[in-house]
Homo-oligomer: A and B are copies of this chain.
Amino acid sequence: MFNEERRFEQPIRWGMVGGGRGSQIGYSHRNAAQRDGLFKLVAGAFDLDPARCQEFGINIGLEEQRCYPNYQAMFEAEAQREDGIQAVSIATPNSTHYEICKAALKAGLHVVCEKPITFTSAEAEELKTLAAEKQRVIGVMYGYTGFPMIHQAREMVARGDLGDIRVVNMQFAHGFHNEAYEEKEPGLKWRVSPEVSGPTYVIGDIGTHAFYLCEMITGMQVSRLSCMRQSFIPSRAPLEDNAHVMMEFEGGAVGTLWASAVNAGSMHQQKIRVVGSKASIEWWDEHPNQLRYEIQGEAPRILDRGMGYLYQDNEGVAASHIGGGHAEGYFESWANLYHRFALVFNATERNDHATVDNVWIPGIDAGINGVRLCEKCVESADNHSAWVNF
Contacts and interface: CB of A to CB of B under 8 A. Distances in A.
Contacts of A162: 264
Interface string A4-48: 110100000000000001001001101100010100000000000
Contacts of A265: 279-280, 293-296, 298, 300
B331 A321 contact: yes
B228 A254 contact: yes
Contacts of A386: 387
Nearest to A37: B60
B329 A296 contact: no
Interface string A265-299: 11110000001111110000111110001111111
Contact of A226 (B5, B163, B279, B385): B385
Given A327-B286, A332-B331, A252 B230 contact: yes
A297 B304 contact: no
A178 B214 CA distance: 21
Contacts of A218: none
Interface string A344-381: 00000000000000000000000000000000000000
Contacts of A387: 226, 384-386
A175 interface: yes
A165 B303 CA distance: 25
Interface stretch (A133-141, A193-201, A255-263): A255-263
Contact of A166 (B258, B262, B297, B301): B262
Interface of A: 1, 3-5, 7, 21, 24, 27-28, 30-31, 35, 37, 56, 59-61, 162-163, 166-167, 169, 174-176, 178-179, 226, 228, 230, 232, 242, 244, 246, 248, 252, 254, 256, 258, 260, 262-268, 275-280, 285-289, 293-304, 307-309, 321-332, 384-387
Nearest to A385: B387
A386 B387 CA distance: 7
Contact of A301 (B7, B256, B264, B300): B300
Contact of A322 (B24, B56, B326): B24
A5 B328 contact: no
Contact of A309 (B244, B288, B298, B302): B298
A304 to B, nearest CB: 6
A260 to B, nearest CB: 7
A7 B56 CA distance: 12
A278 to B, nearest CB: 6
Most buried by B among A232, A325, A326: A326
B244 A264 contact: no
A162 B265 CA distance: 10
Contacts of A244: 246, 254, 256
A26 to B, nearest CB: 8
Nearest to A23: B3
A260 B169 CA distance: 12
Given A5-B56, A288-B327, A294 B31 contact: no
Contacts of A24: 1, 3, 322-323
A279 B263 CA distance: 8
Contacts of A329: 289, 326-329, 331-332
A202 to B, nearest CB: 12
A5 to B, nearest CB: 6
